[in-house]
Amino acid sequence: MSYTAPESINQASNSESSSSTETTYHTFRGKIASFLYMVPPLAASSTAEERLPLCSTTSSQDRNKRTLQVTPQSSSSESSPILTYTTHAPPTRPPTRLLPSLPEAYHSVPVPRARPGEASWLSRCRTLLAYVGPGYMVAVGYMDPGNWATDIAGGAIYDYALLSVVLLSSLLAVFLQVLTVKLGVATKRDLAQMCAEAYSPRFAVFLWITAEIAIAACDLAEVIGSAIALQLLFGLPLVWGCCLTALDVLIVLSFFDKPGRRFRGLELAVMGLIAVIFVCFAAEIVLSRPSFSGVMKGFFVPDLYALATQAPRLYIAMGILGATVMPHNLYLHSSLVQTRDYGESVEDKAEAIFYSSLDTIIALSLALFVNAAILIVAAAAFFDPSGSTQDAPSVSEAYDLLAPVLGNKAASILFGVALLASGQNSTLTGTLAGQIVMEGFVQVRLKPWLRRLITRLVVIVPAVFTVVLAGDKGVDFLLVLSQVILSFQLSFAVFPLVMFTSDVSVMGTEFVNSPSTSFLAWVSAILIAALNIWLLVMTVGQGSIPA
């Protein structure tokens, strides 16, 4: 960046401190703008004067340069500029995407319009049913196989103590997912598209890479979880189970061949698998006979001191957070809400946000039950009150131990069926999330089955390698590690989400976050980042990953 100060600046007296302060402010702002090219997402073709208030702009003949002249706010348009600087960047960025998010399914699900004056409970239920679906698609990520290892470890080692982490993580998940609903409905953009339009290409690619890492980590958990389920139910070796999961692209292909017509069927299939998982763990809760007082204490009396000072406990807690609040779900949900054919008016969008949020709350409440149930069953079956429990059982060991401990063979079978349903459910939604982030960030469109095959092959290699060298314990460690990786990636999705939904120029006055909501959102984002940094500090200080 080069700076040229006009003679009026050189001749200015030292007493003009206010002008000097303003010049410094705009110089700093110009530097930030040159790095991020901060273009408002809903006005990607806006002029530089609109993007940088108080600046008048002239562009050189070279399209890769632009010259900005800063004038005092009180000055007239004829006044001499107080600062001129040139940035080596295009003066404007064209819109990064013309197609809507998931164009095959965009507005493909009809929404019944209430007749004028009609406000009966029946019409409201009919409208709610039309919006039911995206919340359950997102809820799949909150009960995928990665959650199982972290919840089993938390319950087996720390009894019911980490139930408070499950509860707080679920509440945080509901809050963030409702923000994504607002973003998707109000802007008709998904989070990936918003980032691509708002940030520089370099920064957008960086965010895309972090999103892909999150999806790969989630896919790793799905590969391992499905392989374990196949081994438990059918005796298939883990190595062959990992390889067999690559064939789930055929399932994906069957659903995505005609996604516009089959999208509602995809949602119903996902909801059916969630129902299977819910019923299995409801039965597991009954069979395990947990301590009611212990469960209540675990939910509502967190041990913050132990959480802050014990690296292994914090490691598992961050794994629960990463397994519960899934970063790629923020991209996924902001797109899925646009599959509903709601109107363009403010009233129609407000209705869409209300019913989509209600769908989210109900679906994630089911996910909270499943996560809590896994931890409760593990605590009731495997925790040793004498404190001698040092290592959590692996997912496979949990399956083998449930029947003799709980005295019922059905407990193990239900466990295996739920695990297999969880892995296959995540296969479907993981493909959608990958498609959304790739198209939104870098405008690269692949066939869904090809996209799934590439991602799956990338994660099968470390999964098979771990199975061969480390066996079941290594697989379980890899499951927990994948969820901690997800937790580290979370901030890269949460901070842009909070920025966009708190910006009135993006959301409009009707849908922008209230001051209290913005405050809570920023506190949540900073808390997630701080916990990840603290875990990193403790891990480095300990010299190894907590066991």
Q: What kind and span of H or E run contains 409?
A: helix 409-442
Residue 218 structure tokens: 């989630």
Asked if the structure places residue 512 within a domain, the reply is no
494 and 400 within one domain: yes
Asked if the structure places residue 537 within a domain, the reply is no
CA distances, 199 to each of 188, 376, 396 (Å): 18, 43, 45
**Mean per-residue pLDDT for 378-405?**
72
**3-class state of residue 110 by DSSP:** strand
- 53, 72, 87 - which closes a domain: 87
* pLDDT at residue 361 in the model: 95
Asked if the structure places residue 288 within a domain, the reply is yes
Asked if the structure places residue 140 within a domain, the reply is yes
427 and 359 within one domain: yes
144 and 78 within one domain: no
- 59, 87, 115 - which closes a domain: 87
Residue 255's pLDDT band (boundaries 50, 70, 90)? Answer: low
259 and 187 within one domain: yes
Asked if the structure places residue 295 within a domain, the reply is yes
81 and 140 within one domain: no
Q: What is the pLDDT of residues 298-347, one digit of tens each?
A: 899 888 878 777 777 887 887 787 667 778 889 999 999 999 988 888 98
Residue 449 in this model has a pLDDT that exceeds 80: no
263 and 151 within one domain: yes
Specify the higher pLDDT residue, 10 or 518.
518
Q: What kind and span of H or E run contains 55?
A: strand 55-58
Q: For residues 392 and 156, is the Cβ–Cβ distance under 8 A?
A: yes
160 and 278 within one domain: yes
DSSP 140-154: GGGGSHHHHHHHHHH
Q: Which of 92, 110, 103 is nearest to 38 (CA)?
A: 92
For β-strands 66-70 and 83-87, DSSP reports them as antiparallel
139 and 82 within one domain: no
Residue carrying the six token digits 């066991």: 547
Question: What whole-number distance in Å separates Cα of residue 32 and Cα of residue 513?
Answer: 25
Q: What kind and span of H or E run contains 3?
A: strand 2-4
75 and 146 within one domain: no
* pLDDT at residue 362 in the model: 94
339 and 438 within one domain: yes
Residue 3's pLDDT band (boundaries 50, 70, 90)? Answer: very low
Asked if the structure places residue 531 within a domain, the reply is no
Domain with residue 355: its CATH number is 1.20.1740.10
Asked if the structure places residue 103 within a domain, the reply is no
Residues in the chain: 547
User: Is the whole model's pTM more than 0.95, yes or no?
Assistant: no
Q: Which domain holds residue 433?
A: 135-507
Q: What is the pLDDT of residues 258-280, one digit of tens each?
A: 555 567 877 888 888 888 888 88
151 and 78 within one domain: no
Q: What kind and span of H or E run contains 42?
A: none
Residue 522's pLDDT band (boundaries 50, 70, 90)? Answer: very high
Instruction: Give how many domains the chain has, as a whole number.
Output: 2
Question: What whole-number distance in Å separates Cα of residue 428 and Cα of residue 255?
Answer: 8
